[in-house]
């Protein structure tokens, strides 16, 4: 979609404040994604007035928040991976992790940065040909996106979708780098027809301090019906290959089955109603601090578990 088309859509359809997927877990619960306020747009070159997004978002915008989990009666969970890459760190591909996925024969959703797609053509050909794999959009350059201009947001998405198109694929959802989001970011993504999805269960795998047993315990203790579980497959999951088979086995023993994220979203019990206002939703002037990772996962001095790339 072009910028003009998007902005026309936004202008003509303010009632597009309807969410197509399940309700959002209330703000402030454990492992909540980082949230920043919808702030003033400050593109490096001033955009024409018609391309600017208001500095203050009207109250209806407060309903735009990521999907963290899906409300469903089904004991189903989605196993998701991030494949982050930046301009200077193209990262790799964790073959051992993917081997574990293949051995288990489970569907997975891989959120790819556009640069990662372009840096791994052979792997992408393999993944794109695998019916167990679906893709999500993880931006192009892995920037902090919550305060990006609308044009930059669209460029980040378009470039990654163009990279995926070369493999005959498109994304089923968008996951913001670092889990950082704003109401405006989610709103723009919604206008691009991509639900913004974070997670409700962190494996903690990007931290070198995360132990295999800690990962296993954290995922098995926190998985619920409708959970979206995040791992990394770009070589930044230090213990993922060791822990993943045990985690998958443990989830199976608890009665869970594995579904692609797209299928989990489609099974939402409350599919099309607007989300309820978020308690204590951040105002534009007072962005809250980034939510801490659950203490059970990492030692106090550990870095952000979703460090890039």
Q: Which residues bind Zn ion (CB under 5 A)?
A: 82, 84, 177
Sequence-distant (6+) residues with CB within 8 A of 253 are none
Min dist CB 284 to Zn ion, Å, is 26
Q: Which is nearer to Zn ion, 184 or 236 (CB)?
A: 236
Structure tokens at 244: 């993943």
> How many other C-beta atoms can be found within 10 angstroms of the C-beta atom of residue 279?
8
Question: What φ, ψ does residue 156 adopt, rounded to 5°?
Answer: -60, -40
Q: Which is nearer to Zn ion, 148 or 281 (CB)?
A: 148
**For residues 147 and 39, is the Cβ–Cβ distance under 8 A?**
yes
Min dist CB 283 to Zn ion, Å, is 27
Q: Which is nearer to Zn ion, 251 or 261 (CB)?
A: 261
Min dist CB 74 to Zn ion, Å, is 28
Min dist CB 138 to Zn ion, Å, is 6
Residue 94 and residue 190: Cα distance in Å, rounded? 31
Min dist CB 44 to Zn ion, Å, is 23
Residues in the chain: 309
Q: Which is nearer to Zn ion, 198 or 227 (CB)?
A: 198
Q: Which is nearer to Zn ion, 53 or 236 (CB)?
A: 236
**For residues 140 and 197, is the Cβ–Cβ distance under 8 A?**
no
Residue 153 and residue 37: Cα distance in Å, rounded? 16
The residue at minimum Cβ distance from Zn ion is 84
Residue 253 and residue 262: Cα distance in Å, rounded? 24
């Amino acid at each position: 979609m072009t910028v003009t088309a998007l902005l026309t859509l936004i202008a003509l359809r303010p009632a597009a404040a309807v969410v197509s997927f399940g309700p959002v877990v209330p703000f402030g619960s454990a492992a909540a994604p980082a949230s920043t306020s919808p702030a003033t747009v400050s593109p490096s070159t001033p955009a024409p007035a018609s391309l600017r997004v208001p500095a203050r978002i009207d109250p209806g915008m407060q309903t735009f928040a990521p999907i963290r989990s899906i409300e469903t009666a089904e004991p189903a969970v989605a196993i998701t991976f991030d494949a982050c890459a930046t301009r200077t760190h193209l990262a790799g591909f964790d073959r051992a992790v993917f081997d574990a996925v293949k051995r288990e024969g489970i569907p997975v959703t891989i959120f790819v940065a556009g640069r990662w797609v372009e840096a791994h053509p052979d792997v992408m050909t393999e993944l794109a040909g695998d019916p167990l794999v679906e893709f999500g959009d993880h931006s192009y350059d892995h920037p902090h996106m919550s305060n990006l201009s609308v044009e930059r947001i669209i460029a980040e998405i378009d470039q990654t979708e163009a990279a995926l198109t070369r493999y005959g694929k498109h994304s089923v959802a968008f996951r913001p780098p670092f889990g950082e989001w704003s109401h405006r970011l989610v709103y723009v993504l919604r206008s691009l027809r991509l639900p913004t999805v974070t997670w409700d269960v962190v494996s903690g795998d990007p931290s070198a301090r995360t132990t295999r047993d800690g990962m296993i315990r954290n995922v098995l203790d926190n998985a619920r019906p409708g959970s979206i579980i995040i791992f990394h497959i770009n070589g930044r999951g230090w213990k993922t290959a060791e822990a993943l088979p045990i985690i998958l086995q443990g989830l199976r023993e608890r009665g869970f089955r594995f579904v692609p994220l797209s299928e989990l979203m489609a099974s939402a019990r409350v599919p099309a109603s607007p989300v309820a206002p978020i308690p204590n939703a951040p105002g534009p002037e007072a962005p809250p601090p980034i939510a801490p990772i659950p203490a059970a996962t990492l030692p106090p001095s550990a870095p952000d578990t979703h460090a890039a790339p």
